[in-house]
Structure 1
Amino acid sequence: MSDVVLFDFWRSSASYRLRIALNLAGIAYKSVPVDLPTKQHKTPEHLERNPQGFVPVLDIDGLRMTQSLAILDYLDQTRGLGLLPQEPAARAKATALAHAIAVDIHPVCNLQVAAYAVEITGREEARADWMKWFIRPGMVAFEKLLEGFEQDPYCCGNQPGLADICLMPQVYNANRWGAEIDDLPRVSAVAKACAEHPAFAAAHPDKWQPKG
């Protein structure tokens, strides 16, 4: 049995990122589901793993790690994934592209945040309205940012990188919540290329949805 353990939730964007990266690295791992709708992430057991009460948590190399971007950086440096360019200016530019999603869109579209929108409005429809309000403009901006890179066929070139790992969970969320992105040609082309890559396909939430 693998000594690498990923505590995750099948629809979690941050968990989805790590599944992609672990697949790219060829790392076998055990998945331990933490069910967010039933608040398993708020149990003492999970808070002991991560006091923030978030997923994912990754046990690897004798370490217990939290925060997906930090874990992705660790995997990149220890497994040589080449997720970012080495040249400082190109690296900063590619990092900014990834952060446009992971730092700017994702946090405000967290399920916990959207649930609060429902709570304060008393409208269940507020959840989808909230998601669409933030996802669509963020993805339009991402489309514009992609103009600074050559999609060959991925966000920044001919191999998957950090931006692609951050993009695909957001594409999933856009489709889930009905945020229009089909009119974004660069995003659509990258998403198609990523969807055809085995590491991305095997990480898709549909593959991890609990049965029954």
Structure 2
Amino acid sequence: MKLYSYFRSSTSYRTRIAMNLKGLEYDYVAVNLAQDEQLNAAFKSINPQGLVPVLQSDDLLLYQSPAILEWLEEVYPENPLLPKDAIGRMHVRAISAMIGCDMHPINNRRILQYLRNELSVDEDDVMVWCNRWISEGFEALETRLAEDKNRGKFCYGNHPTFADCYLIPQVSSARRFKVDLNPYPNIVEIDTYCRKLKAFADADPMMQPDAPKA
């Protein structure tokens, strides 16, 4: 398999975590978003949206990280990332959607570049924008996590799930945008624990071949 990825892309990051948790090997194909390589004709022939990640499995091209994660779960059921029960799967998918639908999309590179370049929003106000939506999302998620008295070290239960694949990249983004994480002790606790696990550590942006070298 080949994973078309960018080191800092949250959607690529969550896909790398999921593939690592399932023990799947893949070739990393870097797509430099900072140089708009995703908009080149060569990449758009792979994904007309011009977005990463794209997972290539033989002749099959998979796009949109939620669909990729679901495909991985169906095709590679070992090391499951969804609970066995319907209620558990609902909770995991709901947490994932809180991040993947309501937080990440309005703070991703395309939106921020539009704010900067098309609307002439200065960098301080861009940071205010990011802080607003990440903090609002984390406040709701923190409440959900605190209410779950059966939660272990992860977002749901005692095993990593889709929800953790979504959360850890979002925490990385929060730190990059200087969000105060002190009001979210459960989120910080999950993030701290997950980052100690090899699957998460190996997926970290700075561990990728296209990450800036010190």
Q: TM-score range by the shorter chain?
A: over 0.9
- Please report the RMSD computed on the Cα atoms of aligned residues, expressed in angstroms: 1.4
TM-score (norm 2): 0.93
The residue aligned with 2:13 is 16
Greater shift in the superposed pair: 119-128 or 173-182: 119-128
Runs of 5+ consecutive residues of structure 2 not aligned to the other structure: none
Give the whole-Å Cα distance in 2 for the aligned partners of 1:68 and 1:115: 21
- The one-letter code of the counterpart of 2:15 is L
The superposition leaves residues 97-136 of structure 1 with CA deviations (integer Å, 9 ceiling, x where unpaired) of 1110011101001111011112313413232222112111
Q: CA deviation at 1:28?
A: 1.2
Q: Which residue of 2 aligns with 1:210?
A: 212
Give the drift of 1:61.
4.7
Give distance in 1, aligned partners of 2:190 and 2:59: 35
2:100 corresponds to which of 96, 99, 102: 102
Counterpart amino acid of residue 138 in structure 1: G
User: In the alignment, what sits opposite 2:124?
Assistant: 125
1:61-109 Cα distance to aligned partner (Å, 9 max, x none): 5411000010001111111132122322222122111110011101001
What is residue 114 of structure 1 aligned with on the other side? 112
Q: Give, in whole Å, the separation in 1 of the partners of 2:188 and 2:151.
A: 11
Q: Is the 8 A contact 1:118 1:126 kept in 2?
A: no
| Structure 1 length-normalised TM | 0.94
**Which residue identity does 2:205 align to in structure 1?**
P
Q: In 2, are the aligned partners of 1:117 and 1:130 still within 8 Å (CA)?
A: no
Greater shift in the superposed pair: 122-131 or 46-55: 122-131
Q: Percent identity?
A: 34
- Opposite residue 211 of structure 1, the aligned amino acid is K
More displaced, 99-108 or 79-88?
79-88
Number of residue pairs matched by the alignment:
209
* Counterparts of 1:174 and 1:59, CA distance in 2: 30
Map Cα deviations across residues 28-59 of structure 1 (whole Å, 9 max, x no partner): 11111101111000000111110111000001
Which position in structure 1 is the counterpart of 2:141? 142
